[in-house]
Amino acid sequence: MLSRVAENIFWMQKYRERAENMARLIDVSFNLNIEIPNGQHQWLPLLQVFGAQESFSKYYKVIDMNSVLHFLTFDTRNPISIFSCLSMSRENARSVREIITSDMWHELNILYIFLQQSNSKIDNHHAFYTRIKRQCQLFTGISDTTLSHGLAWHFGRVGYLLERADMTSRLLDIKYFTLLPSPDFIGSPFDNIQWNALLNSMSALEMYRQKWHFIKPANVVEFLVLDKEFPRSIFSCIVRAKESLLAIMNITRNANANKPFEIITAIIEKLDGMNGESIVNYGLHEFLDELQKEFIAVNDGISEVYFSFKELVTQA
């Protein structure tokens, strides 16, 4: 497989996953905000969590629902808007159409056209974001069932699992930004609503309840970071990403490939020794911040080893 193709597939899935998570996050924030009394709407954390408040304020005067939703959904000046992410995903897919299956391409293309033709208008918010979420999931499902589970599939899988782990860490981090203004919130009914909403945004509430039955912040953190069975927990994303990295190493027999593999192994070892309480005691925001930096190191390692050709050495 061409290095460029591997890179395109990696990013195709990474951007697609980012779009899906943006849709999840916006959908939940929207639901959350319509439940809080007017005047206390919380749109700022949604920007903070992506470090986007600066670029937002370049183009918008007021932080309100319409402008934040537009900025995060349609605005092409915002590189992490859903439309920007899907455009990038599709652009990457377009340059590997001969590698991915036609079914995959059609699904992604239809989603892109849907966004393009919605003309920055949303009639029913829930239906709109649900559709994006569904079609993204459909895309992953089609990829699992139509694409051979060889290099292309593995590179795509590493791409979206790393992205998902990163997004889970950011969604969790949103609690930090939301609570920052007033620590009194902790433990209040409003706090519970927010933890519920957070779990909901990752379709995690039901699975969480099966395990823990009631909301306790340290348990939510443990579930979303460390749970070994829940498919969106950081731990399980990283473990599966490692599986795919190993598969890629075995197929390519690339002698230089140890670097990202070592970093990802170290992350797993670190997480293995922790629980919810120890993360909270360490400081959730600091912990997540470090984790995000480690994800970036894995990304860079993969890019160096597989995508920038000069690093390649083939084993005999």
Partner 1 sequence: MTNFFNYDTSEKYDEYFQSNGEVRDYAKDLVSNIASLSKKDLSEKQKAAELAFFNMGITFTVNGEGSGVERIFPFDMLPRIIANDEWQMMQKGLKQRIHALNLFIDDIYSDQKILKDKVIPREIVEGGASFIKQCVGLLPPKRIWAHVTGTDLVRAADGELYVLEDNLRCPSGVSYVLENRLVMKRIFPKLFETMAISHVDDYPSKLFETLAWTSKIEDPTIVVLTPGVYNSAYFEHSFLAQQMGVPLVEGRDLIVEDDFVYMKTVHGLEKVDVIYRRIDDLFLDPLVFRADSMLGVPGLMKAYVKGNVSLANAPGTGVADDKVIYKFVPEMIKYYLGEESILSNVPTYLCCDERDRNYVLNNLENLVVKAANEAGGYGMLMGPSSTKTQRKEFAELIKANPRNYLAQPVLSLSRVPTIINNQIEGRHVDLRPYILYGEEIYIVPGGLTRVALKKGSLVVNSSQGGGSKDTWVRAV
Of 186, 267, 264, whose CA–CA distance to 220 is shortest?
186
Binding test (CB under 8 A) with partner 1, winner from 34, 110, 186, 266: 110
> d(Cα 215, Cα 202) in Å, to the nearest integer?
15
User: Measured in whole angstroms, how far is the alpha carbon of residue 216 from the centre of its chain?
Assistant: 24
Give the number of residues in contact with partner 1, rule: CB under 8 A.
Answer: 29
Answer left, alpha or beta for residue 188, where phi above 0 means left and psi between -120 and 50 means alpha. beta
Considering beta carbons, is residue 87 or 265 the nearer one to partner 1?
A: 87
Point out which residues pair with 314 in neighbouring strands: 254
Min dist CB 108 to partner 1, Å, is: 9
Q: Which stretch, 46-54, 102-110, 198-206, 219-227, contacts partner 1 (CB under 8 A)?
A: 102-110
Binding partner 1 (rule: CB under 8 A), the pick from 134, 149, 253, 270 is 253
Q: What is the DSSP string of 107-143?
A: HHHHHHHHHHHTTT--S-HHHHHHHHHHHHHHHHHHH
Q: Is 3 in the site for partner 1 (CB under 8 A)?
A: yes
Alpha-carbon distance of 107 to 104, in angstroms, equals 5
Tokens 């860079």 correspond to 300
Pattern of binders to partner 1 over 207-246, x per CB under 8 A?
----------------------------------------
- Chain-centre distance for alpha carbon 110: 21
Rounded to an integer, what distance in angstroms lies between the CA atom of residue 298 and that of residue 306? 12
Interaction of residue 200 with partner 1, rule CB under 8 A: no
Query: In the complex, what is the shortest distance from the CB of residue 120 to partner 1, in angstroms, rounded to a whole number?
Result: 19
Closest distance of CB 12 from partner 1, Å: 13
Nearest to 166 by CA among 9, 306, 303, 289: 289
153 interacts with partner 1 by CB under 8 A: no
Residue 148 lies near partner 1 (rule: CB under 8 A): no
| 296 part of the interface to partner 1, by CB under 8 A | no
Select from 103-111, 181-189, 235-243, 293-301 the region that touches partner 1 (CB under 8 A). 103-111
Contacts of 228 (CB under 8 A, 6+ apart): 235, 236, 239
Question: Around Cβ 182, how many Cβ atoms within 10 Å?
Answer: 9
- If the CB atoms of residues 62 and 313 are measured against partner 1, the closer one turns out to be 313
Cβ-based nearer residue to partner 1, 100 or 197: 100
Q: For every residue of 216-246, which 3-state class applies, written as one string? A: CHHHHHHHHHHCCCCCCCHHHHHHHHHHHHH
Asked if residue 268 binds partner 1 (CB under 8 A), the reply is no
- Closest CB to partner 1 among 55 and 109? 109
Q: Closer to partner 1 at the Cβ: 99 or 162?
A: 99
What CA–CA distance (Å, rounded) separates 209 from 165? 21
Q: Which is nearer to partner 1, 109 or 265 (CB)?
A: 109
| 6 makes contact with partner 1 (CB under 8 A) | yes
The answer to whether 271 and 234 are in contact (CB under 8 A) is yes
- Binding of partner 1 by 279 (CB under 8 A): no
| Residue list 40-99, contact with partner 1 (CB under 8 A) | 91, 94-95, 97-99
- Is 303 an interacting residue with respect to partner 1 (CB under 8 A)? no
Point out which residues bind partner 1 (CB under 8 A).
1-6, 91, 94-95, 97-99, 102, 105-106, 109-110, 113, 151, 248, 251-254, 306, 309, 312-314
